[in-house]
Copies of this chain bind each other. A is one copy, B any other.
Amino acid sequence: MPYLHADDDRLLFVPLGGCGEIGMNLNLYGTRGRWIMVDCGMSFAGDEAPGVELIFPDTQFIEQESDALLALVVTHGHEDHIGAIPYLWPYLKCPIYATEFTAGLIRDKLEEEGLLDEVPLTVVSPQSELTLGPFSIRYQPLAHSIAEGHGLIIETPKGPIFHTGDWKLDDRPLIGPISPAEALTQLGEKGTLALVGDSTNIFNASESGSEAAVRESLLELISGMTGRVVLTTFASNVARLETAGYIAKKTGREIALVGRSMNRIYRVAREAGYLADFPPIIDERDVGYLPRERVMILCTGCQGEPRAALSRIARGDHKELSLTAGDHIVFSSKIIPGNEKTLGGLFNTLVERGFDVVTEKDHFIHVSGHPGRSELSQMMAWTKPSVVIPVHGEIRHLTRHAEFARKEGIAHTIVPKNGDVIKISEDGAVKVDSVPSGRLALDGQEIVDIDAPSIAERKRLLFNGVVSASVRLSSAGKLTSAPEVRFLGLPRADNPSLESALAGAVETHLDRQGKSVRADDARLEDAVRIAIRRYARGQVGKNPQVMVHIQRDKKGQQG
């Protein structure tokens, strides 16, 4: 029995990801018994899920509606918009639409997961109109920190919605069309029902700045550099890659591309027709043969990812590349919140080895891909929406975005949460229901709930360590040999006496137990657990988890 009936003409908006976090964007629009999904992104796990790499939105709601799901429409190719596709598509099995470059990135992911032949992936052009049941969609090019950023103009029976995706304004974007002013002004004149958009930079008053300005400033900086130049940036920023090639040419340096994703995205970008003027690329193995002032290395790892090229170069364990004191490491990137300590550590390693480190704090060499308040204001002025729905942000971002929209004279706003069912009409946006939502974690090879026991247990292990005890008793419940204890993660782990001390504590405690406890494995386990925790808390100040093995001899056996 479907959630949305064919005769239900309400226009519903249901975010399942991205409303409550920056990352894992996944939004649903529904009416007249049909749904479309906009983006299917992932997020990276933090301390809330130790030992977990990737986080996905929980799609159980739309899985149940999958017969009514017409398509996944993708705005652009960043991981927080496409990263969950290979993991969640098997539960959705819907057609996917994206523009050429974005489709290339998705295709790579599907190939890795062996899904390429299964998934119906259609390349659309911004000129074409995509009709999906009650919805008809046009891709509106917008500048962003990746090639082929798009907003979606979604025509619905209730009126047009502009879903911005991630965007900024850039009159010199280097790649892609210049200004959406005309198209969006037209949209505004017809009257936009709702503007659903990016809240990432709501705390920035000023505009994000232009890729062309970054190019000029980087050229000026690198022109003055002797020694090798290592430039690191987000590989998906094709305009920045083009800038690197441009600067290499201008400064008489040969350019090498280092790092898997850098080479992958370069290839995909070329296939999509970008980077046509990029200078010839030299093999990283040849870098060593060139004079230092003739080399530029464009590499991954601008967030300090330990396995990425830059971190390996910094540690001096990259198999092909080694640098010399005086070489320059230029971070043409931002420090993503949460990565400050990792990056600080990388900066220290680089400085200690005598490299010159330049970051956006020292020089103007990066611009954001998200709109500051001045750009948000311009967008509202163009599109003149009746309703503004902030997405892609934590609660504080969404709340501030909604406040800002009201200050800008927007009649109706709402602060959505993942799982909210929001009815959009001329009268505004109202929450009418809420459906299951949440976060899934890729734990090893398993997709589990973020609150799964495996994750909760590891958090406790992290603080208190673990003890295992093996206890052997006669059928009468008497110890037939001394308890045996092993542990991990307790201080003095290098001191064997703690093991015997814990074993002694178990023996003493069990000796005090009566028949009824000795006869009952569950109660015996508790007794062993209590003995070990008491001792550990008292003697080393830790409260470890305990795993207990109980073995009972059969009648007639003696220890």
Q: CA separation between A493 and B451, bound complex, in Å? A: 12
A428 within 8 A of B: no
Chain B residues with CB under 8 Å of A551's CB are 470, 472, 481, 484, 551
Cβ of A454 within 8 Å of any chain B Cβ, yes or no, is: yes
- Chain A residues 311-359 with CB under 8 Å of chain B are 337-338, 340-341, 344, 347-348, 351-352, 357
Q: Is A489 within 8 A of B468, CB to CB? A: no
Find the residue from A455, A458, A486 having the highest chain B CB count within 10 A.
Answer: A458
Complex CA–CA separation, A558 to B557 (angstroms): 7
Say which residue of B444, B458, B463, B557 sits within 8 Å of A540 (CB atoms): B444
B463 touches A547 (CB 8 A): no
Report if A446-B492 is in contact (Cβ < 8 Å); known contacts: A340-B337, A348-B396, A463-B51: yes
Residues 465-481 of A, flagged 1 when their CB comes within 8 A of B and 0 if not, give 11010101000000001
Query: Which A residues, 376 to 433, have Cβ-Cβ distances below 8 Å to chain B?
Result: 394-396, 399
A338-B340, A457-B489 as given contacts; A348 in contact with B394, CB under 8 Å: yes
How many residues of chain A are within 8 Å of chain B by beta carbon? 66
Q: Are A453 and B547 in contact (CB under 8 A)?
A: no
Q: Is the CB of A489 within 8 A of B454?
A: yes
Known contacts A396-B351, A470-B549, A549-B486; A458 and B462 CB within 8 A of each other? yes
A492 & B454 in contact (Cβ 8 Å cutoff): yes
Min distance, Cβ A226 to any Cβ of chain B, angstroms: 17
Nearest CB to that of A50 among chain B residues? B462
Given the contacts A51-B462, A337-B344, A461-B462, A454 and B490 also touching, CB distance less than 8 Å: yes
Residue pair A465, B458 in contact (C-beta under 8 Å): yes
Most buried by B among A50, A452, A454: A454
User: A490 contacts which chain B residues (CB < 8 A)?
Assistant: 444, 454
Cβ–Cβ contact A486 & B458, under 8 A: no
Tell me which residues across on chain B come within 8 A of A457, comparing CB atoms: 465, 488-489, 493
CB contact under 8 A between A540 and B445, given known A352-B395, A492-B454: yes
Nearest residue, chain B, Cβ from A490: B454
Within 8 A of B (CB), among A512-559: 539-542, 545, 547-549, 551, 553-554, 557-559
- The yes or no answer to A286 lying at the interface (CB within 8 A) is no
Partner of A341, one of B46, B361, B470, B491: B46
Residues of chain B within 8 A (CB-CB) of A453 are: 493-494
A79 within 8 A of B: no
Question: How many copies of this kind of chain does the complex include?
Answer: 2
Q: Which residues of B contact A468 (CB under 8 A)?
A: 468, 486, 547, 549
Asked if A203 lies at the interface with its beta carbon under 8 angstroms from chain B, I say yes
> Is the CB of A47 closer than 8 A to any CB of chain B?
yes
A464, CB-defined interface residue at 8 Å = yes
Residue of B nearest to A445 (CB): B541
Q: What is the chain B residue whose CB lies nearest that of A547?
A: B486
Judged by a CB distance under 8 angstroms, whether A80 is at the interface is no
Residues of B within 8 A of A540 (CB): 444-446
A448 interface hit (Cβ, 8 Å): yes
By a CB distance below 8 angstroms, the chain B residues around A492 are 446, 448, 454
A553 contacts which chain B residues (CB < 8 A)?
557
Does A443 count as interface, using CB distance less than 8 angstroms? yes
Given A352-B395, A444-B542, A488-B461, CB of A341 within 8 Å of CB of B47: yes
Residue on B nearest A337 in the bound complex, by CB: B340
Whether B463 pairs with A357 at a CB distance below 8 angstroms is no
Which residue from chain B places its CB closest to the CB of A336 in the assembled complex? B340
Query: How far is B461's CA from A48's CA once the two chains are assembled, in angstroms?
Result: 15
CB pair B489 A461 closer than 8 Å = yes
Q: Which of chain B's residues have a CB closer than 8 A to the CB of A494?
A: 452-453
A446: chain B residues within 8 A (beta carbon):
491-492, 540-541
Residue of B nearest to A346 (CB): B396
Residue among B347, B484, B488 making CB contact with A545, cutoff 8 Å: B488
Give complex CA distance A337, B340 in Å: 7
**What residues on B are CB-neighbors of A547 within 8 Å?**
466, 468, 486-488, 547
CA distance A361 to B361 in the complex (A): 17
**Residue of A487, A488, A559 most packed against chain B (CB within 10 A):** A488
Report chain B residues within 8 Å CB of A548. 486
User: Smallest CB–CB gap between A417 and chain B, Å?
Assistant: 9
In the docked arrangement, what's the CA distance between A545 and B51, Å?
A: 14
- Which chain B residues border A395 with CB–CB below 8 Å? 348, 351-352
Q: Is the CB of B344 within 8 A of A394?
A: yes
- Shortest 8 CB-CB distances between A and B: which pairs? A444-B541, A445-B541, A468-B468, A446-B491, A470-B549, A486-B547, A458-B489, A461-B461
7 contacts between A and B (CB under 8 A): A51-B462, A444-B491, A444-B541, A457-B488, A458-B465, A461-B488, A470-B549
A→B interface (CB under 8 Å): 46-47, 50-51, 203, 337-338, 340-341, 344, 347-348, 351-352, 357, 361-362, 394-396, 399, 443-446, 448, 452-455, 457-458, 461-466, 468, 470, 472, 481, 484, 486-494, 539-542, 545, 547-549, 551, 553-554, 557-559
